[in-house]
């Protein structure tokens, strides 16, 4: 018995073509948004949108991933948790990536793709893990 409700009411044993496509599109969009953020920072040093304004692109990457994970059957709160978690590593190393665009995009895409795979291919595993943690943390005495 799970503790959370499904967001779109489906429970596919195997990922659908639409689910895989939405995951791939979300990974590409998140990569593009972080690359745009990095390019903006390089070209417009010192301006507000090159600093704090970059967070709009970072939040956009999380939002795109969250939408894809929810489309694949994760409840919205767990989809957001997964999207934010997937974005941590790329955001932490974004400013330390190579200066050439090609290798930088490849690294970002690989990080997003590898970290997103469980939520796209087997969303039930994520939901089961979060449910187990919630049960362990919030047990009745």
Domain ranges of the chain: 17-137
Residue 5: how many other CB atoms lie within 10 Å: 8
Whether residue 122 is predicted with pLDDT greater than 50 in this model: the reply is yes
Q: What pLDDT, in 10s, does the model give residues 77-101?
A: 999 999 999 999 999 998 888 889 8
Pull the structure tokens for residue 2.
């799970």
**Rounded Cα–Cα distance for residues 59 and 45 (Å):** 20
Contact 120, 71 (CB under 8 A): no
**Rounded Cα–Cα distance for residues 95 and 42 (Å):** 10
**Rounded Cα–Cα distance for residues 61 and 30 (Å):** 4
pLDDT mean across residues, the chain: 86
**Rounded Cα–Cα distance for residues 81 and 71 (Å):** 14
Whether residue 118 is predicted with pLDDT greater than 70 in this model: the reply is yes
């Amino acid at each position: 018995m799970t503790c959370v409700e499904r967001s779109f009411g489906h429970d596919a044993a195997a990922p659908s073509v639409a689910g895989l496509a939405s995951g791939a599109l979300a990974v590409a969009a998140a990569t593009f948004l972080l690359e745009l953020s990095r390019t903006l920072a390089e070209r417009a040093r010192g301006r507000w949108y090159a600093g704090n304004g970059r967070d709009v692109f970072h939040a956009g990457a999380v939002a795109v991933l969250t939408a894809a994970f929810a489309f694949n059957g994760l409840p919205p709160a767990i989809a957001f948790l997964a999207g934010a978690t997937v974005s941590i590593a790329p955001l932490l190393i974004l400013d330390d990536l190579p200066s050439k665009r090609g290798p930088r995009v490849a690294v970002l895409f690989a990080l997003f793709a590898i970290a997103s795979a469980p939520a796209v291919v087997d969303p039930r595993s994520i939901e089961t893990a979060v449910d187990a943690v919630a049960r362990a943390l919030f047990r009745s005495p």
